Amino acid sequence: MFLPGLFAFKEEDITGNCNDFCSISLSGGKDSTAMLLLMLEKGLPIDCVIYADTGMEFPEMEAHIGKLDELLHRERGIHVTTLRHPRGFDYLMFDVPQQQKRAIDRRIAAGQSLTGYGWPGLRVRWCTGQLKTHLISKEVNRLKREKNALHLIGIAADEAHRCKDDPHERYPLVEWGVTEARALQICYDRGFDFGGLYKIYRRASCWCCPFQRIDELRKLRKHHPELWARLRDMDHRARAQFGPGPLGQFKKDWSVEQLEERFAHEEKEAGKQ
């Protein structure tokens, strides 16, 4: 559990000599973006900004990261450090060979493919682990070890329960009392509007995420039909390769194709009114 008073963030923690290097985690969302913008405005040291690109980000998010990179280079002369899995999402979902004997035996017994993880699930959320957490943790641990880095993470004040007690990490937004709503407004006030993503969706995470709410998927179909078409293709491939179980089923009670039928029916009924 994070105790705000124990590791309270102070600007002198960065400007002083206790740490030789300052790194920042950038998810691209409103909180980490607001943290970066405020640090630039306050003139606080920034030696490295780390971003993990899953390859499944909204085009608007890709443009947003590019815009932040331009600002960072203009203000501090550095670029965002972008980390990527060497093979990417599609490879992990459909083509990575299974290694564990138990998994292989289980799939053979079920008559399932011996390659690919299938759709991410609550018990095996491989997407976050392999495309984000593992890459960032590896790089951050290297910087802590080799450069005595102080690592800053953009968690808002109303999510302080997510923070950890680590003397090599700080949570500026928590200590500055910046909430999620305030963080978004900070971004808007400085011309960073995420291409309108937050005006449509609750979160600006990967567009193919099976953990999205049904209404978010309805919005995806409406506002990003090209991504919805890709999601339908992935759904067809997953069901053909893994069958109707958890690996091939997009959501517990829904395939993407079933959602397409549902949304199309809703539109048809709405048109009758």
The confidence score (pLDDT) of residue 13 equals 53
What does the pLDDT read at residue 3?
34
User: How many residues are given for the chain?
Assistant: 273
Spell out the domain ranges in the chain: 11-201, 212-273
Q: What is the CATH number of domain 11-201?
A: 3.40.50.620
| Residue 14: per-residue pLDDT | 53
Nearest-angstrom CA–CA distance, 171 and 11: 11
Q: Quick check: 50 and 24 in contact, CB under 8 A?
A: yes
Residue 100 in contact with residue 225, Cβ under 8 Å? no
For residue 147, what pLDDT is reported?
A: 95
Q: What is the pLDDT of residue 244?
A: 86
Looking at residue 12, its pLDDT comes to: 55
pLDDT given at position 1: 30
- pLDDT digit of tens for each residue in the chain (273 aa)? 333 433 344 555 554 445 679 999 999 999 999 999 999 999 999 999 999 999 999 999 999 999 999 999 999 999 999 999 999 999 999 999 999 999 899 899 988 999 999 999 988 899 999 999 999 999 999 999 999 999 999 999 999 999 999 999 999 999 999 999 999 999 999 999 999 999 999 999 999 999 999 999 999 999 999 999 999 999 999 999 999 888 999 998 999 999 999 999 999 998 877
Q: How far is residue 199's CA from residue 204's CA, in Å, rounded to a whole number?
A: 10
Phi–psi pair at 165, nearest 5 degrees: -85, 100
Residue 6 pLDDT: 31
Which residues does 245 contact at the CB level (< 8 Å), separation at least 6? 110, 112
pLDDT of residue 39: 97
Residue 51 pairs in a beta bridge with 82
